[in-house]
Chain A
Amino acid sequence: MQHNIVCFRTRHLDQPWSLENYRSVGGYKQLERILNDKIPPEHILERIKQSALRGRGGAGFPTGLKWSFLSRGKPIQKYLICNSDEGEPGTCKDHDILMLNPHQLIEGMIIAAYVLGTTVGYHYLRGEFWHAFQRCEQAIKEAYQEGYLGKNILGSGVDFDLYNTLGAGAYICGEETALIESIEGKRGWPRFKPPFPANYGLYGLPTTINNTETLASVPVILQHGAKWFAHLGGKENGGSKIFSISGHVNQPGNYEIPLGTPFSELLNIAGGVWKNARIKAVIPGGSSMPVLPGEVMKRTRLDYDSLSKAGSMLGTGAIIVMDEHTCMVNALACITEFYYEESCGQCTPCREGSGWVTRLIKRIEAGQGKPGDLDCLEQIAKGIEGRTICAFGEAIAWPVRSFLKHFRAEFEYHIEHGCCQVAARVR
């Protein structure tokens, strides 16, 4: 299996982030080729479509299709935004791209801007990424010096200015319209859609937003070809993907491997479950995605379609592994507390519901649960799902519903016996 051949292709080098090292793997060659040969934007768009690249920010939306929504010809300012707000618990891939290969993201953004006909781009990093921000500032400075950014790039007549911006601590700003509000200097309150950012985005102007990993994949797709990329993964699931595997494994880490790799293989690469324990459960796409029993995951491949068939989603590719000694009531309380803390407060079902479920689960965990609590939980979750402006509502509802679906007996034991089944078994 081929590792680290897309976003992490400089990883094996000393100082993988340097311009020199990026060039040594073919960096900025695609941009030069496109501009020198005056390759029409439509051709590149076609390649991206053929590559079956899907958004790596969580929703898996086909990138080529998204790019085709922005009307290139319209003679008004348009924007490109890169989303490095990375904050979904379990997810830590974008930070590594920024630290290890910032120039590839920049090249990807310039090419995307060329295809989209945008002359200004913003790269939004979460406020806690101060060191990554410094690295990206340095990389942008170098790109300007080399003539890859600014006016009349490499003498081609194409302009593109790129700026790094910083958030200030708010998970919700990863949601694309909240992120736009945040760049505008406001609270990160998601907007109603439609209108979609492609029509009404930053400062009310047409905007395309993509995730860091999505944009950083672009130069490699053009270097090796759309077919090559598509064939790395399966049908409609092109490419390789960075999986952040965390929790109860021996060697947690970010592994860039082809989409469609069986989960069991990734688990092996990550050294297996720690302390020789058995696997109990896995959340395969960041903590907002439905949990699956370990046994189900062992039979599942890691791609968009296989995971959705198995009852969950690929999400951000963050794989959280829990061993047999994990109390699922405790784990769920931890997850919903995050969403309670981070709800932006705009929609009532999310703002209130996230607190209700968190308090109910904690009560059950503390041995004070009552019969009927589980039905109540289920109902609150259903009441949130689909009733909020953005998908944050689902991010609370899905964990609750999936934990109850697969591990209901553990919750019932807590209510009935006033204590934890897992702890009782250990005794």
Chain B
Amino acid sequence: MSSEEQIIQLTPEICQAIDQWVLKYPPEQKRSAVLAGLRIIQRAYGWLSDERMRALAEYLDLPPMDVYEVASFYSMYERKPIGRYKLAVCMNISCHLCGSDNIIKHLESRLGICMGETTSDGLFTLRRAECLAACTDAPILQVDDRDYYKRVTPEIIDQVLEQLHQAGRKKGRDDAT
């Protein structure tokens, strides 16, 4: 590592959260905790910088490549900063048959962005989701990889945006779990 490169250490809270996961696996299999480690870091900072990924590798005694390749393989990891809220609309067959295209059009016009982009105020990023396993309640919107909104309509979308808008201005990021 060159001297210019910033050395970042994981915070004690993050280390603690990762330790909980390491305990789930055999002692010689710390690598198993890579997915959880990345999720925990992303939850705390919103995305995964190279420095933090290296710090995770060091914490788990792994070559950095073992962490990078996981981060680039799984779709929930963000390797660039994104908006405060991730809005993911399922575009697969059951949602498609129930009008997910209209939901996306509505979101694009309300937010003034296209699929994949982030609003200029940094609040929202719009994403395509792959089947979220809620197909009987299509169409589906998931916020921040966690909260499901089912059978969404343009009206429901407007309400969700309004709520998130207000919460987003007040609140910072939540816990690192």
Q: Which residues of B contact A246 (CB under 8 A)?
A: 94, 97-98, 135-136, 138
Contact status A247-B97, CB under 8 Å: yes
Q: Does A63 contact B (CB under 8 A)?
A: no
The interface bits of chain B over 109-137 (1 if a CB of A lies within 8 angstroms of the residue's CB, else 0) are 00000000000000000001111111111
Interface 0/1 of A390-418, CB less than 8 Å to B: 00000000000000000000000000000
**Is A366 engaged at the interface, CB distance under 8 Å to the other chain?**
no
A168 to chain B: closest residue by CB: B74
- 6 closest cross-chain pairs (CB), A and B: A169-B75, A168-B74, A169-B76, A246-B94, A185-B31, A185-B34
Q: Which chain A residues numbered 55 to 97 have a C-beta less than 8 Å away from chain B?
A: 86-92, 94-95
Q: How far is the CB of B67 from the nearest CB of chain A, in Å?
A: 9
Question: Which residues of A approach B to under 8 Å, CB–CB?
Answer: 86-92, 94-95, 122, 126-131, 163, 165-171, 182-188, 203, 244-248, 252-254, 283, 287, 318, 320, 322, 326, 331, 334-335, 337-338, 341-342, 344
Q: How far is the CB of A4 from chain B (nearest CB, A)?
A: 15
- Tell me if A252 and B70 are in contact (CB < 8 A): no
> Contact at A91–B133, with CB atoms within 8 Å?
yes
Q: In the complex, which residue of chain B has the Cβ closest to the Cβ of A122?
A: B24
Contact B76–A338 (Cβ < 8 Å):
no
CB within 8 Å of A: which residues of B?
24, 26, 29, 31-36, 38-39, 66, 69-70, 73-77, 91-94, 96-98, 128-138, 142, 145-148
Minimum distance in angstroms from B147 CB to a CB of chain A: 8
For residue A169, which residues in chain B have a CB less than 8 angstroms away from its CB? Answer: 74-77, 130, 145
Contact A320 B93, beta carbon cutoff 8 Å: yes
The verdict on A95 contacting B133 (CB below 8 Å), with A168-B38, A170-B74 known, is: yes
B83 to chain A, nearest CB (A): 18
Contact: B97 with A322, CB < 8 Å?
Answer: yes
Complex Cα–Cα for A324 and B133 (A): 25
A287 touches B92 (CB 8 A): yes
Contact among B94, B128, B132, B147 with A247 in the assembled complex (CB-CB below 8 Å):
B94
Residue pairs across A and B with Cβ atoms less than 8 A apart, 30 shown, are A90-B94, A92-B134, A95-B134, A122-B24, A127-B74, A128-B76, A128-B129, A128-B142, A130-B145, A131-B148, A165-B24, A168-B76, A169-B74, A170-B75, A182-B35, A184-B31, A184-B32, A185-B35, A185-B70, A187-B69, A246-B97, A246-B98, A246-B136, A247-B138, A248-B97, A283-B93, A287-B131, A320-B94, A334-B96, A335-B92
Q: A94-B133, A127-B76, A320-B135 are in contact. List 6 more A-B contacts (CB 8 A).
A: A127-B35, A130-B145, A169-B75, A169-B145, A246-B97, A252-B136
The answer to whether A166 and B36 touch across the interface, beta carbons within 8 angstroms, is yes
A291 to chain B, nearest CB (A): 10
Q: Which residues of B contact A244 (CB under 8 A)?
A: 135-136
Residue of A nearest to B74 (CB): A168
> CA–CA, A287 to B77, complex, Å?
26
Do A131 and B146 touch across chains, with their CB atoms under 8 A apart?
yes
Inter-chain CA distance A188–B77, complex, in Å, is 14
Q: Given the interface contacts A87-B131, A331-B93, does A183 sit within 8 Å of B136 by beta carbon?
A: no
For A171, the chain B residues whose CB sits under 8 A away are 130-131
- On chain B, the residues within 8 Å of A89 by CB distance are 92-94, 130-131, 135
Contact A338 B130 (CB under 8 A): yes
Distance A338 CA – B90 CA, assembled complex (angstroms): 10
Q: For residue A183, which residue of chain B has the nearest CB?
A: B32
How far is it, in angstroms, between the C-alpha of A197 and the C-alpha of B144 when the chains are bound?
Answer: 34
Task: Give the docked Cα–Cα distance between A47 and B73 (Å).
Answer: 41
- Please pick, from B70, B77, B129, B131, the residue contacting A90 in the complex, using a CB distance under 8 A: B131
Residues of A within 8 A of B147 (CB): 131
Q: How far is the CB of B9 from chain A (nearest CB, A)?
A: 21
On chain B, the residues within 8 Å of A334 by CB distance are: 91-93, 96
A252 to B139 Cα, complex, angstroms:
12
Decide if A127 touches B39 in the complex (CB within 8 Å). Answer: yes
Q: Given contacts A88-B131, A184-B29, A320-B97, is CB(A128)–CB(B145) below 8 Å?
A: yes
Q: How far is the CB of B7 from chain A (nearest CB, A)?
A: 24
Contacts of B69 in A (CB 8 A): 186-187
